[in-house]
Structures are given as structure tokens and as C-alpha cells.
């Protein structure tokens, strides 16, 4: 067995703050994020209060109205591409942080989470110059119909724990390319790579307020975001079944269904046990990504907790099943 020693990461020793309007802002409290393999505390993470959420939304609104939406598409393209280049430069550090905070294998963090995050930013950088309107046919003499695509405004991007940075980037890329600004919130369990990514924003030359990052619990911080009158669109991946309105996995052991999956009430409990039971004590959550056929996959999970069976059943349809102990704070 190969044992990978944890490298010395300066980021872990630096104080963690919220990223609002291009500046680092203290939260109202802190919580610990831990290494799921050892239980070791990795860092103290700030909790955003209502005032900080307001500040983040206001910063995003100002950035949207005062430059980002009207910036030349070629300039937005250059900035988004530059953000991808910076992530590429620090890709090894990000991969190790993802392993420490999330618990996934290093190869997966390198080849999936970070590699795809880089390519998504570069892909959507290209889209910045390819969003245009249309001249539509019109049967009424003397009239011209024009369809114009415009950015919607401020986007709340709320991500789950299983692909922490990647799920933020999935939401960030198209929003930035379209001319929207973003307030991002990583999952409570796995905030480190998103906070480290925020450090690249100023370095890449992204204008203040275009990207903002707040951290804290789903019901409190996520709830404040999705109910905020200044938010124009919510990009969300997570659990919604148990407590409607909670913008993150509100139940200790939810079935998290990504956008694009069929909603077929998948959570009836593994091995016939009710949702929230320990169901054998090993698999805490099942995570299904786009393209997953829930009706076919849930029996494979119910049938037992053998990880090889789960992985074999999941990989064929783009699903990923991963263990994560304990309820989310």
C-alpha cells in the first residue's frame, strides 16, 4: 500500500475569511473542517451572518451593474481563461487539498475534480464571445423581430461536498461567460478548495464583486442566499426532499440527486430501513450525477453495501457513490 504524506500547505496555516467584493472579510463565527480519514482539524472556517450575505449580494449586484455585464466579451473571455490558467498552475496543491478535505483518492482529485475544473473554465471562456441574438422571421409587413440574450444578474451557486470545487466551477463558468456575477457557497464539510480558489480571483484580474464566496451551513447561509431578494437565479446541487427551502442536504443521510436526474422518490432507505437510519453504518449517502437512471441504480445500492457492486453499477451511467461519515453541521 502506498502512503502519501501530507505536504506542507501554506494555505492551511493562513486565516480563513469570506471573500466579498474582492476583499477578505471576517465571519460572525467559525467552525472546523476536518480530514475525514483521520479526524484531524484542517482549518477553522468562517461562518457568514446575514450581514455578510447582504454584503456579498450587494457586491455582486454592483459588479454586475457597473461593468461586468457590459464588458467586451473578448475581455471576459480573457479573464475567465486566465482564471483557468492559474488553477492549472496550482493544480497539484488543489488536488491535495481536495483529498484532505473530501477524502477521495488522489487520482480522482487530479484527473476529475481539478482537471475538469480547469477545462470547464477554458470552455466557457470561449462561450463569452459566442452568445448573440437573432433576427427572427416575421409575417407582419414592416415589423422586425429581434431576440436578444442578456445576463440575468446575480447568481447564487451552492455546491455539494462530493465534488467540492468542480461543482462550484460547473456553475461559475456559464454564469461568468454570460455576464452574470456570482455568490458561491461550498458545502459545509468541504470548503477548502473553494476558499483557495477565491485567492486566485484577484490574481487573475477579475473585477471586485464578480465572484464572492461565503461559507457556513446550508439552512443558515444557503437559506439566506436563496431567499435573498437580490439573487436573480439559483444554481444548486443538493438535497431538497426533506425540508423544502433548505438549499443544501438538510437530512443527515439524504439521497442527493443532481440536476438532470429523474425525480422518482429514490430515498426509501437502504435494505428497507427508513431514511436517516444507519443502514449498516457504512454508506451514508448516495450521489447520482446527470444521466443517472434512479430506478435502475437504487436497487443496486439497496442490494448491499459492497463498494465494488455499487461502483460497477454506478460507473456505467455517470454516477458516483462515495462514503462520508456523520451528519453535516
Q: Summarize the chain as % helix, strand, coil (round to 5).
A: 40, 15, 45
Q: What is the pLDDT of residue 132?
A: 87
Q: What is the pLDDT of residue 299?
A: 40
Tell me the per-residue pLDDT of 79-93, one tens digit each, with 9 for 90 and over: 999 999 999 999 999
- Please state, for a pLDDT cut of 70, what percent of the chain lies above it: 70
Quickly state the pLDDT bin for 3 (edges 50, 70, 90).
low
Q: What is the pLDDT of residue 290?
A: 42
Strands 255-257 and 286-288: parallel
**Does residue 223 register a pLDDT over 50?**
yes
Tell me the per-residue pLDDT of 160-199, one tens digit each, with 9 for 90 and over: 999 999 999 999 999 999 999 999 999 999 999 999 999 9
Residues 6 or more apart whose Cβ sits within 8 Å of residue 287? 160, 162, 256, 258, 319, 320, 321, 322
3-state secondary structure of 160: coil
List the CATH code of the domain at 14-130+151-250.
Answer: 3.40.605.10
**Average pLDDT, rounded, for the chain:** 78
**Sign of the CA dihedral with 126 first, then 108, 45, and 225 last:** positive
Quickly state the pLDDT bin for 5 (edges 50, 70, 90).
low
Among 136-140, 181-185, 244-248, the range with the most confident prediction by mean pLDDT is: 181-185
Quickly state the pLDDT bin for 239 (edges 50, 70, 90).
confident
**Does residue 99 register a pLDDT over 60?**
yes
Q: What is the pLDDT of residue 2?
A: 54
**Does residue 222 register a pLDDT over 80?**
yes
Q: Span 23-50, mean pLDDT?
A: 95
Q: What is the pLDDT of residue 142?
A: 86
Tell me the per-residue pLDDT of 247-297, one tens digit each, with 9 for 90 and over: 444 333 333 333 433 333 333 333 333 333 333 333 333 333 444 444 444
Integer distance in angstroms from the first to the last C-alpha of the chain?
33
Q: What is the pLDDT of residue 240?
A: 64
Strands (E), the chain: 18-20, 23-25, 29-34, 41-47, 134-136, 145-147, 154-158, 181-185, 211-213, 233-236, 255-257, 286-288
Q: What is the pLDDT of residue 241?
A: 52
Residues 6 or more apart whose Cβ sits within 8 Å of residue 152? 178, 180, 232, 233
Compute the distance between CA of residue 40 and CA of residue 2 in angstroms, rounded to an integer: 20
Quickly state the pLDDT bin for 6 (edges 50, 70, 90).
low
Confidence (pTM): 0.73
Q: What is the pLDDT of residue 41?
A: 94
CA neighbor of 160 nearest in space, from 181, 188, 134, 140? 188
Q: What is the pLDDT of residue 314?
A: 34
Domains of the chain, by residue range, sit at 14-130+151-250, 254-329
**Does residue 230 register a pLDDT over 50?**
yes
Amino acid at each position: 500500500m502506498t502512503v502519501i504524506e501530507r505536504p506542507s500547505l501554506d494555505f492551511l496555516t493562513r486565516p480563513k475569511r469570506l471573500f466579498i467584493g474582492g476583499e477578505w472579510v471576517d465571519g460572525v463565527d467559525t467552525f472546523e473542517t476536518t480530514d475525514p480519514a483521520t479526524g484531524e482539524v484542517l482549518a477553522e472556517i468562517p461562518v457568514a451572518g446575514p450581514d455578510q450575505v447582504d454584503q456579498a449580494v450587494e457586491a455582486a449586484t454592483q459588479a454586475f451593474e457597473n461593468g461586468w455585464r457590459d464588458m467586451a466579451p473578448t475581455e471576459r473571455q480573457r479573464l475567465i481563461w486566465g482564471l483557468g490558467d492559474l488553477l492549472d498552475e496550482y493544480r497539484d496543491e488543489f488536488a491535495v487539498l481536495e483529498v484532505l478535505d473530501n477524502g477521495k483518492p488522489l487520482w480522482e482529485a487530479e484527473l476529475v475534480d481539478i482537471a475538469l475544473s480547469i477545462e470547464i473554465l477554458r470552455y466557457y471562456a470561449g462561450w463569452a464571445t459566442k452568445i448573440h441574438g437573432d433576427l427572427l422571421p416575421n409575417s407582419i409587413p414592416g415589423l422586425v423581430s429581434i431576440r436578444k440574450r442578456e445576463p440575468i444578474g446575480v447568481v447564487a451557486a451552492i455546491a455539494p461536498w462530493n465534488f467540492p470545487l468542480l461543482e462550484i466551477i460547473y456553475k461559475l463558468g456559464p454564469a461568468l461567460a454570460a455576464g452574470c456575477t456570482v455568490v458561491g457557497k461550498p458545502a459545509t464539510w468541504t470548503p477548502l478548495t473553494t476558499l483557495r480558489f477565491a485567492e486566485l480571483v484577484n490574481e487573475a484580474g477579475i473585477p471586485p464583486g464578480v465572484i464572492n464566496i461565503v461559507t457556513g451551513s446550508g439552512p443558515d447561509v444557503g437559506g439566506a442566499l436563496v431567499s435573498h431578494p437580490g439573487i436573480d437565479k439559483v444554481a444548486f446541487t443538493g438535497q431538497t426532499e426533506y425540508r423544502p427551502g433548505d438549499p443544501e442536504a438538510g437530512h443527515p443521510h439524504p439521497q442527493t440527486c443532481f440536476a438532470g436526474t429523474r425525480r422518482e422518490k429514490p430515498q426509501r432507505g437502504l435494505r428497507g430501513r427508513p431514511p436517516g437510519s444507519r443502514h449498516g453504518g457504512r454508506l451514508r449517502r448516495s450521489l447520482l450525477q446527470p444521466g443517472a437512471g434512479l430506478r435502475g441504480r437504487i436497487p443496486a445500492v439497496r442490494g448491499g453495501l459492497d463498494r465494488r457492486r455499487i461502483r460497477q453499477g454506478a460507473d456505467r451511467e455517470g454516477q458516483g457513490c462515495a462514503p462520508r461519515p456523520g451528519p453535516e453541521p
